[in-house]
Structure 1
Amino acid sequence: MPSLTVEGTMPSPPVRVVSRRTVKPPPRPRERIPLTSWDVSMLSTDYIQKGLLFAPPPFSTAHLVDHLQAALADALATYYPVAGRFVTDQHRDDKGHAVACSVSIDCAGQGVEILHAVADAVAIADVIPPDADVPRVVHSFFPLDGAINYDGHEVPLFVVQVTELDDGVFVGFVYNHALSDGTAFWDFLNTWAEIARATLAPPEAPRALTSRTPLFDRWSPDGGAPAPLVLPYADLSGLIERLSPPPLRERMLHFSAESLVALKERARQELLAAGDTAGAAAVTKFQALSSLMWRCVTRARRLAPDQETVCRAAINNRGRLRPALPAEYFGNTIYAISTAPVRASELLARGHGCAAAAVGRAVAAHTDANIRARVKAWTAKPIMYTLRYFDPNGVMMGSSPRFDMYGCDFGWGKAVAARSGKANKFDGKTSLYPGREGGGSIDAEVVLTPEHMALLEQDEEFWAAVSPDAPRAGKD
């Protein structure tokens, strides 16, 4: 039974949607773009939910939505698949029985949506409180709650919610992850933002766009022309799962460039002391931060000494394929790589440098041959990734500090903060964001069960590396 206020009425929702608009690209010839194994395997996972918090623009929110809508229509002229829908075609045998299927993007200009919402009595300080969990109200800034990528057959592949706060605005992006990975997603958003900035620039300012043009031709393992990936199922619905994680806590923690350099140097010195000169020479800040998360979360979980654990990381395949895929490739080209399993007691006893080197070995092993072997294995036995494929005893490093989140300026200044919704989260997931001040700093969105987060908050090694929050200016 719903909870009631003292007066006996339902409490008002923190966010009210006041308008909804459909945005379509200019008319163009209809086409279909086949999904690859990398795309299809994402159909059971959640939509991407990422958003940017801004100081208030120098005009009304209604004008802001008009501004974003006009620029988005122009961006969709280039990124027209974003305005499409998924379609599944059945393949039949000689007797007319459906025996297989394939999934494509139907680029018919069906459209995306922009919502204008109002968060009554919510301020910027409520969205990014210092030294506290990410507030639940942030989740209400993202529409299509509970949608998985398979739903892109019926609902838009991209929905934007512009939420008006008391002293700012939050722009939440909800994007189908089977359409592309984070690299292509942020390229699309930055193209949109660049168009929006140009419309607000003085007439004498240069108008040439610097964004790269997306490449929609899908990768084929044999190097041939892209063709629909035929799956040995008459219907995909039996492979689709909708799973909900347990209650979780989320914290956004800051690691300054100096802190990351110190973490890397500590790992390097430990490896040199252990005689691993190759590992010491190859260690990176990413490896050092992954080591910190892996070891400290393992300690917070109080795993049994013999319990094995791994560190996984999302990795971009573009530059690792031979020949390499162009940076502007639009689609999914990511895999989750993994360290070799190690007993919890050994992980903690061997130290920071050893764990960092283990992450480095996993990255180095992800070669063209490894990628192609995984594609071949998946094609022989297709699966849809869901939360059940994530090891509850391991950790996962996702997203990337290389994504140009704070370059995504729509014309009234740099974002105050970047945040995400509740999608694609589970115990042990860490998503990396660029630090707002740049310079190689990183913000880490750490997700754990309440019990594990409480124990992590007592970990001295972990908090010695966390930096105080960087100052948040309203505008630059």
Structure 2
Amino acid sequence: MMTSTHAVRHVSECFINPLHPSPTEESKSNQIFNLTPWDIAMLSMHYIQKGLLFKKPAALVDHQDFMQNLLDKLKHSLSLTLFHFYPLAGRLVTRKTNDSSSYTISVDCNNSDGARFIYATLDMSISHILSPVDVPPIVQSFFDLHKAVNHDGHTMPLLSIQVTELLDGVFIGCSMNHAIADGTSYWNFFSIWSHIFQAQGHEHDVPISNPPILNRWFPKGCSPPINLPLKDHDEFIGRFEAPLLRERIFHFSAESIATLKAKANMESNTTKISSFQSLSALVWRSITRARSLPHDQRTSCKLSINNRSRMEPPLPKEYFGNSIHAVSAEATTGELLENALGWAAWKLHLAVANHNHSVVLQSFQEWLKSPFTYQIGRFIDPCCVMMGSSPRFSMYDNEFGMGKAVAVRSGYANKFDGKCHHSRAMKEGGALIWKSAFRQRI
């Protein structure tokens, strides 16, 4: 049981701005950063909250200067990283038309304090975080901007880093505005920050191989900024309060995933079903069975999907912003549980395979005719299972002077009954494992 001494204590806070190598390059960050329909649709969702848990180096656990040196290097490398991701140091700004019948929302990169950086402490060990069956609620305190929605970026930072020192570890938690970036952009930022951190010594010139592409993509016939035909934000923005949830993490070995994939493909007489689709089908069936839904109750499995590779021509993977969609497979509870794993996995495969450039453009046109924001309370039904994040993200490749992370954890944001997050990591000895975090209402 957590006592009053087991609470996260904020020790210090500051703001970090991009470190500009030259006045010419500084002027590049003075422009307005326009939001696309993909971005605007995310304004009612929570910030992305993901972080990495590291063990303190054994020889430095009791070293008085360890944390101060780490914090100094994190701040400096973050400043260098923000040069490449300068919109993250800005704030959202709304500009109304003269007759106040509509408005635009964009990122002002000038009038801002920058990205927030917090140092906090917690008198608990790594084992207190990783040992319980369920992810302990204290993990939510490892992230700033608790319960904030992306629209709050008008007054709150678009990026906030919280470094929480444990007795034997360090958690680096990042809260990033989801109207500015999706998961691909988020982990590209983390990767470049890690690279710059490790390469420090080149004071202002750390070469990076995959710089973000900040030029915004708009469909043909749609020029920025986008006019929203509304008079007030309240017509557009909603907030979601999650019920009390249990969050549990399951590990799947490479061998079990391979077996699952082979089974799904054999049962569907194909070779096209992926590992992720096979695992998602297993999770969909398992959660639906546990819910004890009526035989004729319709249920769905939604997958968050990256649009970049599906565009014609494709968007580069370094495109910074949102480029995601949700595809869905549906069935009655009876159909889902009476048929084999391969039947469900094939439905998920078709949902992914049928998502192409034409579908993306059609969804754009529909949005432009009737703009909306995704709102969890309306977007998700109680019989749904939603797969977020991706095992393709290189989460465990990010290092900050303490070796590989021992765990990835997430905050309160965007969680509801049936939400699942997938990641992939390397165990000791090099064996591949998948990690899936499931949320279920108590």
- The two structures have a TM-score, normalised by structure 1, of 0.86
Q: Does 1:15 align with 2:8?
A: yes
CA displacement at 1:200 relative to structure 2: 7.0
TM superposition outliers: structure 1 runs of 4+ over 6 Å: none
Residues 94-109 of structure 1 correspond to what in structure 2 (within 5 A)? 97-108=99-110
Aligned to 1:276: none
Q: 1:125 is matched with which residue: 127, 134, 142?
A: 127
Q: Give the 5 Å matches for 1:239-318.
A: 239-272=236-269, 280-318=270-308
Q: After TM superposition, give the deviation of residue 164 of structure 1 in Å.
A: 0.8
Deviation (angstroms), 1:442: 1.3
The alpha-carbon deviation at position 266 of structure 1 amounts to 1.1
Task: Give the conservation status (yes or no) of the 8 Å contact 1:141–1:172.
Answer: yes
Equivalent residues in 2 for 1:78-157, closer than 5 Å: 78-92=84-98, 97-108=99-110, 110-120=113-123, 122-129=124-131, 132-157=133-158
Which residues of structure 2 form unaligned runs of 5+?
Answer: 21-25
How far apart are 1:33 and its partner, in Å?
1.2
Between the aligned residues of both structures, percent identity stands at 43
CA RMSD of aligned residues (A): 1.8
Query: Is structure 2 residue 203 aligned with structure 1 residue 195?
Result: no
- Residue 76 of structure 2 corresponds to residue 70 of structure 1: yes
Q: Secondary structure at the match of 2:10?
A: strand
Distance 1:440 1:16 in 2: 36
2:368 equivalent among 379, 386, 398:
379
Q: Is the 8 A contact 1:46 1:424 kept in 2?
A: yes
Give the SS at the match of 1:259.
helix
Counterpart CA distance in 2 for 1:200 and 1:77 is 17
Q: What is the alpha-carbon distance in structure 2 between the residues aligned to residue 12 and residue 105 of structure 1? A: 40
Do 2:196 and 2:206's aligned partners in 1 also have CA atoms closer than 8 Å?
no
CA drift of 1:223 comes to: 7.3
Name the counterpart of 1:447: 439
Alpha-carbon spacing, 1:142–1:267, altered in 2? closer, same or farther (3 Å): same
User: Could you tell me how far apart the structure 2 residues matched to 1:439 and 1:223 are?
Assistant: 49
- One-letter amino acid of the structure 2 residue matched with residue 171 of structure 1: I
Secondary structure of the corresponding residue to residue 310 of structure 1: strand
| Alpha-carbon distance between aligned partners in 2 of 1:171 and 1:338, rounded to the nearest angstrom | 33
Q: Find the aligned partners of 1:86 and 1:333 in 2 and give their Cα distance.
A: 19
Change (3 A) 1:119 1:45: same
**1:364 aligns with one of 353, 358, 364:** 353
- Contact kept, 8 Å, 2:7 with 2:122, in 1: the verdict is yes
Residue in structure 1 matching 2:323, options 305, 328, 333:
333
What TM-score does the superposition give when structure 2 sets the normalisation length? Answer: 0.92
- Give, in angstroms, the shift of residue 436 of structure 1: 3.4
Check the 8 A contact 1:190/1:211 in 2, yes or no: no
SS in structure 2 of the partner of residue 159 of structure 1: strand
Change (3 A) 1:208 1:15: closer
Q: Residues 83, 208 of structure 1: CA spacing in aligned structure 2 closer, same or farther, 3 A cutoff?
A: closer
More displaced 10-residue stretch of structure 1: 149-158 or 374-383: 374-383
1:85, 1:154 within 8 Å by CA — same for their partners in 2?
yes
State the shift of 1:239 in Å: 1.7
CA distance in 2, matches of 1:18, 1:119: 10
Q: Deviations over 1:16-40 (max 9, x none)?
A: 0010011111362211011011101
Deviation at 1:364, TM superposition (A): 0.6
Tell me the number of residue pairs that the alignment of Structure 1 and Structure 2 aligns: 422
Match of 1:466 in 2: none
| Structure 1 unpaired stretches of 5+ | 6-10, 273-279, 451-476
Q: Is the 8 A contact 1:163 1:169 kept in 2?
A: yes
The one-character-per-residue Cα deviations of 1:86-109 (angstroms, maximum 9, x if unpaired) are: 1111123xxxx2111111111115
1:379 Cα deviation from its structure 2 partner = 1.4
Distance 2:108 2:426 in 1: 37
Displacement after TM superposition at 1:234 (Å): 2.2
Task: Supply the distance in 2 between the matched residues of 1:412 and 1:351 (Cα, whole angstroms).
Answer: 45
Tell me, yes or no, if structure 1 residue 217 matches structure 2 residue 218.
Answer: no
What whole-Å deviation, never above 9, does each CA across 1:188-225 have from its counterpart, x for those lacking one? 11111111111279x9xxx863441111111111177x
1:252-279 per-position Cα deviation (integer Å, ceiling 9, x unaligned): 111111111010111122123xxxxxxx
Matched with 2:185 is 184
2:207 partner SS: coil
Listed one character per residue, the Cα deviations across residues 412-453 of structure 1 (whole Å, up to 9, x for unaligned) are 211111111111100111111112336653100111112xxx
Equivalent runs, 1:35-54 vs 2, <5 Å? 35-54=35-54
State the AA in 2 paired with 1:98.
Answer: S
Q: Is the 1:193–1:411 contact (alpha carbons within 8 Å) kept by the matching residues of 2?
A: no
Q: Contact conserved, 1:194 with 1:209, CA < 8 A, in 2?
A: no
Distance 1:373 1:173 in 2: 33
**1:235, CA displacement in angstroms?**
2.3
CA distance in 1, matches of 2:115, 2:413: 19
Alignment pair present for 1:167 and 2:168? yes
Partners of 1:216 and 1:260 in 2: how far apart?
36
Aligned partners of 1:254 and 1:435 also within 8 Å: no
**Secondary structure of the corresponding residue to residue 435 of structure 1:** strand
